[in-house]
């Protein structure tokens, strides 16, 4: 990451914002809370509205380089085309979780890097059990991460919400 450049990083939501913030601090020793050259903005999901686009454009007009980090979810090409169409940017400025190549989400990354795999495995068994019951809905992947953190004795329930998690511990 070039310290002389200014970046605006657009992410889907709170968990993505906190994860990217922690990643930048861990990987580059840059605290985005006090560094004005890196701004991380939540889009509020994968849909775009005029206000969000106008807000991002203000940063671009002020010489910030735009990077978009969203989930690939269940359709990689559709996710990428949605971003390209709405923000008029090329592939080099887009990264789709989990690895910019596969289908998935931030929660897939977190499940894969979880320190205590047994908790993740228990939740997967629970999900499989729920799936076997007619007329039920599979719990969201976000539920797995919340349950994982809630199951670790050292975690305070106040610190496991998406915007307060410390992604440098237990992952």
Q: Domain ranges in the chain? A: 6-105, 114-159
DSSP lists the bridge partners of residue 40 as 9
pLDDT at 5 over 80: yes
- Model pTM score: 0.91
DSSP lists the bridge partners of residue 71 as 97
Helix boundaries (H) for 45-153: 50-61, 76-87, 106-113, 117-131, 141-151
State how far the Cα of 113 lies from the Cα of 119, in Å rounded to an integer. 12
pLDDT at 154 over 80: no
pLDDT at 2 over 80: no
The whole-number pLDDT of residue 161 equals 87
State how far the Cα of 18 lies from the Cα of 26, in Å rounded to an integer. 12
The CATH number assigned to the domain with range 6-105 reads 3.40.1360
**Which secondary structure element, helix H or strand E, spans residue 56, and what is its range?**
helix 50-61
């Amino acid at each position: 990451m070039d310290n002389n450049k200014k970046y605006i990083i657009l992410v889907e939501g709170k968990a993505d914002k906190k994860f990217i913030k922690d990643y930048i601090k861990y990987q580059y020793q840059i605290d985005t809370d006090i560094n004005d050259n890196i701004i991380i903005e939540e889009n509020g999901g994968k849909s775009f509205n005029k206000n969000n686009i106008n807000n991002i454009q203000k940063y671009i007009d002020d010489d910030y380089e735009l990077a978009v980090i969203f989930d690939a979810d269940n359709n990689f090409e559709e996710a990428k085309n949605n971003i390209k169409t709405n923000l008029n940017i090329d592939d080099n400025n887009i990264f789709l979780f989990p690895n910019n190549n596969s289908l998935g989400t931030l929660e897939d990354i977190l499940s894969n890097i979880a320190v205590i795999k047994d908790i993740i495995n228990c939740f997967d068994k629970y999900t499989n059990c729920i799936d076997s019951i007619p007329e039920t809905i599979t719990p969201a992947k976000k539920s797995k991460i919340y349950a994982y953190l809630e199951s670790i004795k050292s975690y305070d329930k106040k610190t496991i919400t998406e915007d307060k998690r410390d992604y440098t511990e237990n992952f």
